[in-house]
Amino acid sequence: MANTAQHHSRLTVTTMATVLPIFFIFAIVVALMTSAALFTPKGPQQVVVRTAIMLTLACCFLLWMVTYLAQLHPLIQPQRSLKVEG
């Protein structure tokens, strides 16, 4: 029982996530942009459609990346009280 009580009184420190998913998602977005540039059907609006698809992918990636990084390195750290209630 004493070992269990000591285990609960210790604070555990967890490490933050890595930046590695940003590079994986970036590679996927680049592949999708390349396929959008290569496989856009021919027509009078080909450049407009290609630009719209590539801008959509770039904006979605930037939105996801900013959200991910804001959670990875928050400006305001959560505060934990060291009081033991009970």
Q: Using an 8 Å Cβ cutoff, are 33 and 56 in contact?
A: no
User: What does the domain layout of the chain look like in residue ranges?
Assistant: 19-72
Condensed to tens digits (0 to 9), the pLDDT of residues 14-35 reads 565 688 999 999 999 999 999 9
Per the listing, tokens 């930037």 go with: 62
The pTM is what?
A: 0.68
For the ranges 51-55, 62-66, 70-74, the lowest mean pLDDT is seen at 70-74
The residue count of the chain comes to 86
Tell me the three-class secondary structure of the chain, residue by residue: CHHHHHHHHCCCCCCCCCCHHHHHHHHHHHHHHHHHHHHCCCCCCHHHHHHHHHHHHHHHHHHHHHHHHHHHCCCCCCCCCCCCCC
pLDDT of residue 74: 82
Q: Which of 8-12, 20-24, 37-41 is least confident?
A: 8-12
Confidence (pLDDT) at 49: 96
* Residue corresponding to tokens 């009970």: 86
User: Tokens 């027509």 identify what position?
Assistant: 43
